[in-house]
Amino acid sequence: MFSVHLFGTPHGASHFFLVFLSLLCISLPSIADDTVVLRVSNSDFRTAHDGLIEAIESEGLVVGSVLPFRDMLARTAVGDDTIPYREAEIVQFCSSLLAAELVREAPAQLTLCPLSIALYTLVEKSSEIRLAYRSPGNSTAGRQRAESLLQRIAQRAAELAHLRW
């Protein structure tokens, strides 16, 4: 007769290990990357930048800052050859109404403000312009509105960049 220990089976495999593996496999899809990337076709970086600014302003928002991310890396990185971007910047903006809603829901959500969208090209694919933002998720009504706003702005920016080319 086999004696089964709490963490063992008659075949030598641990129940704990099997349960752990099962939970890991179940939870992997929930550990999804929260970065959303859109490709901008038939445009150039400056036109895509202008389209992004216009898309933000068309929502009635004001651009707080434009961070020259690639330039910052070039100033502070060890070697220019390690920087993956040909061009890269981060555009920050905020909606006071959305910010108020987010912090009413949970004071720690102030970390979601300001919202930002990155615009970049990679060295090896310099003709491919990309827009990227970090999804705030959809766990609250405010986060859903923030996600919707970011999606609208990114889509509109891509359309404007394409139209002007």
- Is residue 6 scored above 80 in pLDDT? no
Residues in the chain: 165
pLDDT confidence tier of residue 29, bands split at 50, 70 and 90: very low
Helix ranges, 68-140 (H): 69-76, 96-105
Tokens, residue 96: 């006071």
Query: Would you list the domain boundaries of the chain?
Result: 1-32, 33-164
Run of H or E including 128: strand 125-134
Long-range CB contacts for residues 61-67, cutoff 8 Å, separation at least 24: 61/93, 61/94, 61/95, 62/93, 62/94, 63/91, 63/92, 63/93, 64/92, 64/93, 64/94, 64/114, 65/91, 65/92, 66/90, 66/91, 66/92, 67/91, 67/92
Contact criterion met (CB below 8 Å) for 68 and 89: yes
Per residue in 116-127, pLDDT (tens digit) is: 999 999 999 888
Q: Phi then psi for 128, rounded to 5 degrees?
A: -95, 110
Which of the residue ranges 8-12, 49-53, 90-94 would you say has the lowest mean pLDDT? Answer: 8-12
- In this predicted structure, what is the pLDDT of residue 135? 97
pLDDT confidence tier of residue 163, bands split at 50, 70 and 90: confident
Instruction: Please name the CATH architecture into which domain 33-164 falls.
Output: 2-Layer Sandwich (3.30)
Which amino acid, 140? T
Helix, strand, or coil (residue 75): helix
CA distance 156 to 144: 18
Per residue in 57-103, pLDDT (tens digit) is: 999 999 999 999 999 998 887 666 789 999 999 999 999 999 999 99
